[in-house]
A and B are shown apart, each in its own frame.
Chain A
Amino acid sequence: MIIELGAFALILALVFSVLQTGLSAVGGARRSAVLAGAGRGAALATFLCVAVTFAALVHAFVTSDFSVANVAANSHTAKPMLFKVAGAWGSHEGSMLLWCLVLTGYGAAMAVFGASLPPRLRAYAVAVQGALGIMFLAYTVFASNPMIRLVDPPVEGRSLNPLLQDWALAVHPPFLYAGYVGFSVVYSLAMGALIEGRVDAAWARWVRPWTLAAWSLLTIGITLGAFWAYYELGWGGWWFWDPVENASFMPWLIGAALLHSAIVLEKRGALPGWTVFLGLAAFTFSMLGAFLVRSGVLTSVHAFAVDPTRGVLLLMMMGVAAGSGFLLFALRAPSLNSGGLFAPVSRESAIVLNNIVLSTATATVLLGTLYPLIREAIDGEAVSVGPPFFNLTFTPVMLLALAILPAGPLLAWKRGDAGAVMRRLWVALAAAAVLGLVTYGLIVPRKALASAGVALGFWLIGGALAELAERVKLLRVPLAQTWRRATGLPRGAWGTTLAHAGMGVFVLGASFETAWRVEQAQALSLGQSFRLGAYSLTLQDVGTVEGPNYLAERGKVAIVDQAGRLVCAARPERRFYPTGGQTTSEVHICPKGLDDLYIVLGERRAGEGGKPAWLVRAYVNPWVRLIFLGPLLMALGGAISLSDRRIRLGVGRRASETAA
């Protein structure tokens, strides 16, 4: 019954989204507050209906209602509760419903919280958001409905892949979707502005909070995914340049570019066309991601949803949204007047450089991801583009942007003074160079490139701190006054500092981990040991344990340091899930400051003298925690910026006009 209610609500949501689009569009065109208000009401109703459907699906998963095809295929009675709930978005159909929930949720948020927007822009944006809703809801209802019942329900479900029964992966999709579907609002606002024909500083001020929210959530989503890969896949990798990863990374890069160019538009009225273009591009990349991930056109390690029919539908939806967006852009772009002059050395120039680099990086990832398809279409040759390509192209391009990053926030608008900026940054630069040299000198084996990476990381952190010190006039005025200045700083400034420093933290971690990771693997019988860097590992015991829905072999590995002290008693597991007949490794990670000791128990085999032995693999991952801490700092910076008074109040003068 509840499922039927959910299915009905989903169809109702589709009807409401049609109303939302129609009423808002007419309301905008005729400047009718009544119609626009009704459109907003419909937006709210759409969201509530999708929420009912989603709740019904979650209910079916929680109660293990295997008469629902989706539940039967993805759940199991013995599964822990968290993973039953997460199973609701663990399939193609369920995750599309989550997509719709987020999409309509943002539409409702725009309807409720968009009071500071000019009425016309708001009406048009709500209409466009509704049009996106129509497409995705129609797709969900007609081509990917999660509420379908089975005529002959099974007694037990087929369960979710055990690798995915993990807290990080349970919460990863909601964050990820809240992030990249969040760019739909930016798309809608861009469309609204283009329909109205007005893209100005005020528009940038309205777009920024939505971009910040979406980008920060996407950052958290990607980081959770990377963290999951790190500890769940059993060999410590965290980024693979897989097409599916790239699909979520491209909107992130474009979102970062948009965040910066919107500042230029807001403060200086420059780059309106480019900023709108990025606004359209961000969501286009999100939809491209949805297509790549679900169509099976690219070989990915995720290898899912090989359903060409659905792929074609998703491609068509992307074509309609992106096509109409960029067509409108092409028609309007010539009339967008770009004010705001600036000198070659200025903050505007720095941000334009940032945008050039981020766009190039995005294009590189896009080209690398699609190149196998392109080559195949051109001359039928099958080629692969993997991590070595991205490391050789993407990384140097990004390093360029990072090298000049600390100077950006210190440059004045319009015309900056490079000399003055260097006078403020030389301490940070010198400190970074010294730390890089120390790294080069002290850490064995010597690695010049990685040491340069370490210096770059410190340069970013030092640069961010130098900018903060400059703002509070540290050591140049009495401390009390510095304190007053610090407490009086706009939150946006703290956000910038934190996000830029977070980038540095990430670079430090990535440089260290990639260059100085230590790996060792050996088959050990009970009581045998091997050396791993400065540590010694002994396999003391292997026992059997029974989990809620698995059986496991659990090893006991004692790790001692050179002084003979016990550093960690690791309990890595090798689990067998009888439902699907799958085996997974449950690694044991011992944090040692910023480093991780990473222990994996492998399969049992015959050892010396016929005694059983287990393959034990172990890694020292130096500073690996920073890889995940850095992006979280960036997301936190975004959240702090979002809480800035200027953003909360929205728009200053024009807000009071529209409110009056």
Chain B
Amino acid sequence: MRGSSLGALRAFALTLTAVVCMAAASEPSERLPDPAQEARARTLFREVRCLVCQNESIDDSQAELAGDLRQIVRKEIAQGRTDAEVRAFLVARYGEFVLLKPPFSVGNAALWLAPAGLLLAGGGLLVALLRRRSAAGSAETAEVDALSAEEEARLAVLLEGDGHDCAEKGSQEDPPA
């Protein structure tokens, strides 16, 4: 979805020429003769930023610089370089900014690890919540198991102390599905 807000589309007009003719990489005159190499080049294009454009890969951009970058990538591939070598070459020349997929490095570790870390943290929280809940709710779930003498005693204390809470919880028990 390109165009979340019509706000300030005026300035958008300035970049129009770059936007109109997209999918520039399919330009027939630029293609490599070997289809396998061409396919690899196209995959790489999507990871390389058109440096002078607003936020486009060189696969999409019609800008002259994007054309030059595509030529560089195609030439490197035709010379038998691996994808990693082509990326390294581009970074050496233009800086990390050129890669739309930031490399996994110390500087970018936070970026790449955060999603998994957050997911694990969330999972951990859920487990902790369930543990705490099941400890707190043992009186409620005890009906399934026979109570030990110790538990009976604790239950009695609980019922005396704050009986109304347990009674209320119990009344909300759904019928088993």
Contact = CB atoms under 8 A, between A and B. Distances in A.
B111 interface: yes
B10 A381 contact: no
B97 to A, nearest CB: 4
Contacts of B4: 176, 225, 244-245, 247-248, 289, 293, 302
Q: Choose among A238, A239, A243, A244 the residue with the greatest number of B CB atoms under 10 Å from its CB.
A: A244
A306 B13 contact: no
Interface stretch (A15-23, A478-486, A577-585): A577-585
Interface string A423-463: 00000000000000000000000000000000000000000
B52 to A, nearest CB: 11
Interface in A358-390: 359-360, 363-364, 367-368, 371, 375, 378-379, 381-389
Contacts of B125: 356
Interface stretch (B19-27, B71-79, B147-155, B156-164): B19-27
Contacts of B15: 301, 303
B12 A303 contact: yes
A389 B101 contact: yes
A584 B60 CA distance: 15
Contacts of B169: 339, 341
Interface string B1-22: 1111111111111111101111
B114 interface: yes
Given A90-B6, A363-B114, A364-B114, A341 B96 contact: no
Given A342-B133, A349-B130, A164 B6 contact: yes
Given A225-B1, A228-B3, A234-B23, A397 B119 contact: yes
B33 interface: no
Given A95-B5, A163-B19, A364 B115 contact: yes
Nearest to A523: B28
Interface of A: 73-74, 86, 89-92, 94-96, 158, 160-161, 163-164, 169, 172-173, 176, 222-223, 225-226, 228-229, 233-240, 242-245, 247-248, 289, 293-294, 299-306, 339, 341-344, 349, 352-353, 356-357, 359-360, 363-364, 367-368, 371, 375, 378-379, 381-389, 392-394, 397, 400, 412-414, 416-417, 420, 519-523, 580, 582-585, 602-603, 615, 617
Contacts of B118: 359-360, 363-364
B10 A302 contact: no
Contacts of B47: 386, 388
A302 B20 contact: no
Contacts of A352: 126, 129
Contacts of B133: 341-342
Contact of B26 (A95, A161, A303, A521): A521
B46 A303 contact: no
Contacts of B101: 386, 388-389, 392
Given A235-B60, A303-B54, A383 B96 contact: yes
A304 B2 contact: no
Given A92-B7, A383-B102, A386-B57, 19 more contacts: A158-B10, A161-B12, A164-B6, A176-B4, A243-B55, A302-B3, A303-B15, A304-B7, A304-B8, A304-B11, A341-B140, A343-B130, A356-B123, A360-B115, A367-B111, A384-B49, A521-B23, A602-B21, A617-B26
A417 B177 contact: yes
Interface residues of B, number: 69
A196 to B, nearest CB: 22
B122 to A, nearest CB: 3
19 contacts: A91-B6, A94-B6, A161-B13, A164-B6, A235-B60, A240-B2, A299-B55, A302-B4, A302-B9, A303-B11, A349-B126, A356-B123, A371-B108, A375-B107, A383-B102, A384-B49, A384-B97, A384-B100, A617-B23
A-B complex: 10 closest residue pairs judged by Cβ atoms: A386-B100, A304-B8, A356-B122, A388-B101, A305-B8, A235-B23, A225-B1, A412-B177, A341-B137, A521-B26
Interface in B86-104: 95-102
A379 B20 contact: no
Nearest to B8: A304
